[in-house]
Amino acid sequence: MISEIANAIFPREVNAGVATVHLTDDGQELTMRFPEHVQVAYRSATVRAVVSTVGDGFSRQFKLPLP
Amino acid sequence: MKITRSLSNDGTLCPIALNYLGGIPEKYVFFREQQQRHPASIYNLSLDKLAKAFAAVIQEYVRDTTRFSVEPNGGFDINVLLQAQEHLLHCLQEHLDDCYLILKTLVDPAKTTARAIAANEYVVDSKLPGAKSFAQATDEYRGSLTIVNKLKHNQGRLRGYGIYPGDGIYLGYFLEEPDKDGVVGPSPEIHPNQGAFSFARDLRWRFSWSILGSWSKQSSGLFGVSIKPLFQVVLRHNRRPTIGTDSSE
Protein backbone atom coordinates (compact mmCIF):
# COMPACT_ATOMS: atom_id res chain seq x y z
CA MET A 1 0.00 0.00 0.00
CA ILE A 2 2.75 2.44 0.90
CA SER A 3 4.22 2.19 -2.57
CA GLU A 4 0.98 3.52 -4.05
CA ILE A 5 1.04 6.86 -2.25
CA ALA A 6 1.38 9.71 -4.74
CA ASN A 7 3.96 12.48 -4.38
CA ALA A 8 1.40 14.70 -2.70
CA ILE A 9 4.03 16.54 -0.69
CA PHE A 10 3.92 20.15 0.46
CA PRO A 11 5.95 22.86 -1.31
CA ARG A 12 8.13 23.39 1.78
CA GLU A 13 9.17 19.73 1.71
CA VAL A 14 10.33 19.55 -1.88
CA ASN A 15 13.97 20.33 -1.08
CA ALA A 16 14.10 18.03 1.92
CA GLY A 17 14.13 14.84 -0.09
CA VAL A 18 11.77 11.93 0.09
CA ALA A 19 11.93 8.17 0.25
CA THR A 20 10.46 6.17 -2.58
CA VAL A 21 9.09 2.70 -2.00
CA HIS A 22 8.26 0.37 -4.87
CA LEU A 23 6.69 -3.07 -4.65
CA THR A 24 6.56 -5.09 -7.85
CA ASP A 25 3.12 -6.06 -9.15
CA ASP A 26 3.66 -9.69 -8.20
CA GLY A 27 4.65 -8.69 -4.66
CA GLN A 28 8.01 -10.42 -5.03
CA GLU A 29 10.39 -7.50 -4.68
CA LEU A 30 10.50 -4.37 -2.54
CA THR A 31 12.83 -1.51 -3.41
CA MET A 32 13.45 1.64 -1.39
CA ARG A 33 15.49 4.63 -2.45
CA PHE A 34 16.38 7.53 -0.23
CA PRO A 35 16.90 10.31 -0.04
CA GLU A 36 15.43 11.05 -3.42
CA HIS A 37 14.75 14.47 -4.80
CA VAL A 38 11.49 14.66 -6.64
CA GLN A 39 10.01 17.28 -8.85
CA VAL A 40 6.46 18.08 -7.98
CA ALA A 41 4.40 20.10 -10.42
CA TYR A 42 1.69 22.05 -8.66
CA ARG A 43 -1.11 22.75 -11.09
CA SER A 44 -2.03 26.00 -9.48
CA ALA A 45 0.30 28.93 -8.74
CA THR A 46 -1.56 29.53 -5.52
CA VAL A 47 -2.83 27.02 -3.04
CA ARG A 48 -5.70 27.11 -0.60
CA ALA A 49 -5.30 25.43 2.74
CA VAL A 50 -7.67 23.86 5.24
CA VAL A 51 -6.87 23.14 8.84
CA SER A 52 -8.57 21.36 11.70
CA THR A 53 -8.04 22.29 15.30
CA VAL A 54 -9.86 22.14 18.61
CA GLY A 55 -10.15 25.04 20.98
CA ASP A 56 -8.78 24.68 24.49
CA GLY A 57 -11.26 27.05 26.12
CA PHE A 58 -8.72 29.76 26.82
CA SER A 59 -6.34 30.48 23.93
CA ARG A 60 -7.42 33.29 21.64
CA GLN A 61 -4.52 33.42 19.21
CA PHE A 62 -3.63 30.69 16.74
CA LYS A 63 -0.95 30.28 14.12
CA LEU A 64 -1.49 28.15 11.05
CA PRO A 65 1.15 26.16 9.18
CA LEU A 66 2.47 27.63 5.95
CA PRO A 67 2.18 25.52 2.78
CA MET B 1 20.93 4.69 -1.14
CA LYS B 2 18.96 1.83 -2.62
CA ILE B 3 17.75 -1.20 -0.73
CA THR B 4 16.10 -4.16 -2.42
CA ARG B 5 14.49 -7.14 -0.73
CA SER B 6 13.05 -10.01 -2.69
CA LEU B 7 11.25 -13.19 -1.76
CA SER B 8 13.40 -15.25 -4.11
CA ASN B 9 16.75 -13.99 -2.80
CA ASP B 10 16.01 -13.14 0.81
CA GLY B 11 13.02 -15.31 1.63
CA THR B 12 11.20 -12.29 3.03
CA LEU B 13 10.51 -8.66 2.24
CA CYS B 14 11.20 -7.81 5.88
CA PRO B 15 14.48 -6.10 6.85
CA ILE B 16 17.63 -8.15 6.56
CA ALA B 17 17.92 -7.96 10.33
CA LEU B 18 15.24 -10.64 10.50
CA ASN B 19 17.46 -13.02 8.53
CA TYR B 20 20.37 -12.41 10.86
CA LEU B 21 18.33 -12.74 14.04
CA GLY B 22 16.69 -15.91 12.79
CA GLY B 23 20.12 -17.37 12.05
CA ILE B 24 21.57 -17.09 15.52
CA PRO B 25 21.76 -20.46 17.24
CA GLU B 26 19.75 -20.41 20.45
CA LYS B 27 22.76 -21.30 22.58
CA TYR B 28 24.34 -17.95 21.73
CA VAL B 29 21.50 -15.86 23.06
CA PHE B 30 20.03 -15.62 26.54
CA PHE B 31 16.40 -14.91 25.89
CA ARG B 32 15.17 -17.59 28.28
CA GLU B 33 17.40 -16.37 31.09
CA GLN B 34 16.16 -12.84 30.41
CA GLN B 35 12.54 -14.01 30.31
CA GLN B 36 12.16 -12.65 26.82
CA ARG B 37 11.10 -14.09 23.48
CA HIS B 38 13.71 -15.19 20.96
CA PRO B 39 15.22 -12.05 19.37
CA ALA B 40 13.81 -12.98 15.97
CA SER B 41 10.36 -13.24 17.56
CA ILE B 42 10.75 -9.86 19.24
CA TYR B 43 11.67 -8.30 15.93
CA ASN B 44 8.92 -10.16 14.10
CA LEU B 45 6.21 -9.05 16.51
CA SER B 46 7.50 -5.50 16.46
CA LEU B 47 7.46 -5.37 12.66
CA ASP B 48 3.99 -6.90 12.60
CA LYS B 49 2.66 -4.20 14.89
CA LEU B 50 4.37 -1.51 12.84
CA ALA B 51 2.99 -2.90 9.59
CA LYS B 52 -0.55 -2.86 10.95
CA ALA B 53 -0.12 0.68 12.24
CA PHE B 54 1.19 1.86 8.86
CA ALA B 55 -1.66 0.09 7.07
CA ALA B 56 -4.26 1.74 9.30
CA VAL B 57 -2.89 5.21 8.55
CA ILE B 58 -2.67 4.56 4.82
CA GLN B 59 -6.22 3.24 4.73
CA GLU B 60 -7.56 6.38 6.39
CA TYR B 61 -5.29 8.61 4.33
CA VAL B 62 -6.63 7.17 1.08
CA ARG B 63 -10.20 7.43 2.36
CA ASP B 64 -9.84 11.07 3.45
CA THR B 65 -8.00 12.04 0.29
CA THR B 66 -11.05 10.88 -1.64
CA ARG B 67 -13.51 12.33 0.86
CA PHE B 68 -11.95 15.81 0.67
CA SER B 69 -10.92 15.77 -2.97
CA VAL B 70 -13.18 18.78 -3.39
CA GLU B 71 -12.86 21.68 -0.96
CA PRO B 72 -15.26 21.16 1.92
CA ASN B 73 -17.96 23.67 2.63
CA GLY B 74 -17.20 24.02 6.28
CA GLY B 75 -16.21 20.82 8.07
CA PHE B 76 -12.73 19.45 7.66
CA ASP B 77 -12.47 16.58 10.10
CA ILE B 78 -9.73 13.96 9.76
CA ASN B 79 -9.68 12.88 13.38
CA VAL B 80 -9.73 9.14 12.64
CA LEU B 81 -6.68 9.58 10.42
CA LEU B 82 -4.92 11.64 13.09
CA GLN B 83 -5.66 9.02 15.74
CA ALA B 84 -4.18 6.35 13.48
CA GLN B 85 -1.12 8.54 12.92
CA GLU B 86 -0.67 9.09 16.66
CA HIS B 87 -0.85 5.33 17.21
CA LEU B 88 1.77 4.84 14.49
CA LEU B 89 4.12 7.33 16.12
CA HIS B 90 3.81 5.48 19.42
CA CYS B 91 4.50 2.17 17.65
CA LEU B 92 7.63 3.65 16.08
CA GLN B 93 8.82 4.59 19.55
CA GLU B 94 8.02 1.09 20.80
CA HIS B 95 9.99 -0.36 17.90
CA LEU B 96 13.13 1.32 19.19
CA ASP B 97 12.42 -0.07 22.66
CA ASP B 98 11.92 -3.51 21.12
CA CYS B 99 15.30 -3.29 19.45
CA TYR B 100 16.88 -2.71 22.85
CA LEU B 101 15.05 -5.80 24.10
CA ILE B 102 16.73 -7.70 21.30
CA LEU B 103 20.12 -6.47 22.47
CA LYS B 104 19.21 -7.48 26.00
CA THR B 105 18.84 -11.11 24.87
CA LEU B 106 22.53 -11.02 23.94
CA VAL B 107 23.54 -10.33 27.52
CA ASP B 108 24.21 -13.27 29.79
CA PRO B 109 22.55 -12.25 33.08
CA ALA B 110 24.96 -14.46 34.99
CA LYS B 111 27.87 -12.34 33.77
CA THR B 112 26.59 -8.83 34.38
CA THR B 113 26.00 -6.74 37.46
CA ALA B 114 23.58 -4.49 35.58
CA ARG B 115 20.18 -4.24 37.23
CA ALA B 116 18.53 -1.45 35.26
CA ILE B 117 14.95 -2.22 34.34
CA ALA B 118 14.99 -0.22 31.13
CA ALA B 119 16.56 -2.37 28.41
CA ASN B 120 18.52 0.53 26.90
CA GLU B 121 20.19 1.25 30.23
CA TYR B 122 20.68 -2.45 30.93
CA VAL B 123 22.63 -3.14 27.74
CA VAL B 124 24.84 -0.09 28.22
CA ASP B 125 25.48 -0.91 31.88
CA SER B 126 26.35 -4.44 30.80
CA LYS B 127 28.93 -3.01 28.40
CA LEU B 128 27.45 -5.03 25.58
CA PRO B 129 29.76 -4.57 22.60
CA GLY B 130 27.98 -2.54 19.96
CA ALA B 131 25.42 -1.06 22.35
CA LYS B 132 26.96 2.40 22.28
CA SER B 133 27.37 2.42 18.52
CA PHE B 134 23.77 1.29 18.23
CA ALA B 135 22.68 4.21 20.39
CA GLN B 136 24.71 6.60 18.24
CA ALA B 137 23.42 5.10 15.02
CA THR B 138 19.83 5.50 16.11
CA ASP B 139 20.23 9.07 17.34
CA GLU B 140 18.55 10.46 14.24
CA TYR B 141 15.72 7.96 14.49
CA ARG B 142 15.21 8.83 18.15
CA GLY B 143 15.33 12.53 17.29
CA SER B 144 12.58 12.05 14.72
CA LEU B 145 10.38 10.78 17.53
CA THR B 146 10.65 13.90 19.67
CA ILE B 147 7.11 14.45 18.53
CA VAL B 148 6.06 11.41 20.60
CA ASN B 149 7.51 12.95 23.75
CA LYS B 150 5.58 16.11 23.01
CA LEU B 151 2.39 14.08 22.67
CA LYS B 152 3.01 12.15 25.88
CA HIS B 153 4.48 14.76 28.16
CA ASN B 154 3.67 18.24 26.86
CA GLN B 155 0.03 18.08 25.80
CA GLY B 156 0.99 18.30 22.16
CA ARG B 157 -1.90 17.58 19.83
CA LEU B 158 -1.92 16.42 16.23
CA ARG B 159 -4.00 18.65 13.99
CA GLY B 160 -5.08 18.14 10.42
CA TYR B 161 -3.90 20.18 7.49
CA GLY B 162 -4.50 20.06 3.77
CA ILE B 163 -3.73 22.09 0.70
CA TYR B 164 -5.46 22.28 -2.64
CA PRO B 165 -2.80 22.85 -5.31
CA GLY B 166 -5.21 22.28 -8.19
CA ASP B 167 -5.57 18.50 -8.35
CA GLY B 168 -7.34 17.47 -5.19
CA ILE B 169 -6.20 17.64 -1.60
CA TYR B 170 -2.70 16.97 -0.26
CA LEU B 171 -3.24 15.89 3.32
CA GLY B 172 -0.90 16.48 6.21
CA TYR B 173 -0.67 17.11 9.91
CA PHE B 174 1.20 19.16 12.46
CA LEU B 175 1.91 19.07 16.16
CA GLU B 176 0.12 21.92 17.88
CA GLU B 177 1.48 23.52 21.04
CA PRO B 178 2.02 27.07 22.36
CA ASP B 179 5.04 29.08 21.27
CA LYS B 180 7.04 31.36 23.58
CA ASP B 181 4.38 34.06 23.28
CA GLY B 182 1.61 31.66 24.21
CA VAL B 183 0.23 31.54 20.70
CA VAL B 184 -1.03 28.07 19.83
CA GLY B 185 0.15 26.70 16.50
CA PRO B 186 2.72 24.45 14.82
CA SER B 187 5.37 23.45 17.37
CA PRO B 188 8.44 25.64 16.77
CA GLU B 189 10.65 22.67 17.66
CA ILE B 190 8.95 20.09 15.46
CA HIS B 191 8.14 22.46 12.60
CA PRO B 192 10.98 25.02 12.56
CA ASN B 193 10.05 26.15 9.03
CA GLN B 194 6.41 26.58 10.09
CA GLY B 195 5.35 23.96 7.56
CA ALA B 196 3.19 20.94 8.29
CA PHE B 197 4.16 17.34 7.44
CA SER B 198 2.49 15.87 4.39
CA PHE B 199 1.39 12.28 4.90
CA ALA B 200 2.83 11.45 1.48
CA ARG B 201 6.36 12.29 2.61
CA ASP B 202 6.05 11.42 6.27
CA LEU B 203 4.72 7.89 5.80
CA ARG B 204 7.36 6.82 3.29
CA TRP B 205 10.12 8.53 5.23
CA ARG B 206 9.16 6.91 8.51
CA PHE B 207 8.63 3.55 6.79
CA SER B 208 12.14 3.62 5.34
CA TRP B 209 13.62 4.91 8.53
CA SER B 210 12.00 2.27 10.70
CA ILE B 211 13.58 -0.38 8.53
CA LEU B 212 17.00 1.17 8.25
CA GLY B 213 17.37 3.27 11.37
CA SER B 214 18.92 6.12 9.49
CA TRP B 215 19.44 7.56 6.07
CA SER B 216 23.09 7.85 6.95
CA LYS B 217 25.37 5.47 5.08
CA GLN B 218 27.52 5.29 8.20
CA SER B 219 24.66 3.89 10.22
CA SER B 220 25.62 0.87 12.25
CA GLY B 221 22.17 0.49 13.70
CA LEU B 222 20.37 -2.65 14.59
CA PHE B 223 17.88 -2.02 11.85
CA GLY B 224 18.58 -3.15 8.34
CA VAL B 225 21.76 -3.52 6.44
CA SER B 226 24.32 -3.09 9.16
CA ILE B 227 23.08 -5.48 11.79
CA LYS B 228 25.69 -8.00 10.69
CA PRO B 229 28.74 -6.03 11.93
CA LEU B 230 27.04 -5.51 15.29
CA PHE B 231 26.45 -9.19 15.81
CA GLN B 232 29.92 -10.07 14.63
CA VAL B 233 31.35 -7.75 17.28
CA VAL B 234 29.18 -9.33 19.94
CA LEU B 235 30.02 -12.84 18.90
CA ARG B 236 33.75 -12.13 18.63
CA HIS B 237 33.62 -10.63 22.08
CA ASN B 238 32.05 -13.81 23.36
CA ARG B 239 34.70 -15.84 21.50
CA ARG B 240 32.10 -17.76 19.66
CA PRO B 241 31.93 -18.62 16.00
CA THR B 242 30.42 -16.02 13.74
CA ILE B 243 26.95 -16.74 12.56
CA GLY B 244 26.28 -17.67 8.99
CA THR B 245 24.51 -14.85 7.22
CA ASP B 246 23.94 -13.83 3.70
CA SER B 247 26.03 -10.91 2.55
CA SER B 248 24.03 -9.81 -0.44
CA GLU B 249 23.75 -6.31 0.99
- pLDDT on residue B117: 93
Q: Does A64 touch chain B (CB under 8 A)?
A: yes
Cβ-proximal residues to B96 (8 Å cutoff; 6+ apart), any chain: B138, B141, B142, B145
Contact yes or no for B170 and A9 at CB 8 A: yes
Q: Does A60 touch chain B (CB under 8 A)?
A: no
Q: Nearest chain A Cα to B169, which residue? A: A8
Least confident of B19-33, B99-113, B188-202, B214-228: B214-228
Whole-model pTM: value is 0.87
Q: What is the separation, in whole angstroms, between the first and last Cα of chain B?
A: 12
In the structure, what pLDDT confidence band is assigned to residue B223 with cuts at 50, 70 and 90? very low
Question: Does B153 or A31 have the greater pLDDT score?
Answer: B153
The answer, yes or no, to whether ipTM is higher than 0.95 is no
Please list every residue in chain B whose beta carbon sits closer than 8 Å to the beta carbon of residue A52.
76-79, 159-161
Predicted confidence (pLDDT) at residue B32 exceeds the cutoff of 90: yes
- pLDDT on residue B114: 92
A33: left (phi over 0), alpha (psi -120 to 50) or beta: beta
Helix, strand or coil, per DSSP, at residue B71 = coil
Contact yes or no for B208 and A32 at CB 8 A: yes
| Separation CA B229–CA B242 (nearest Å) | 10
Q: Could you read off the pLDDT of A8-40 as tens digits, one per residue? A: 999 999 888 788 888 888 989 888 887 788 777
- pLDDT on residue B20: 77
| Most B-contacting residue of A4, A13, A15 (CB-CB within 10 A), to test interface | A13
Tell me, what amino acid is at B112? T
Crossing angle for the helix pair B39-67 and B199-212, nearest 10 degrees? 170
In the structure, what pLDDT confidence band is assigned to residue B244 with cuts at 50, 70 and 90? very low
Crossing angle for the helix pair B79-104 and B146-153, nearest 10 degrees? 110
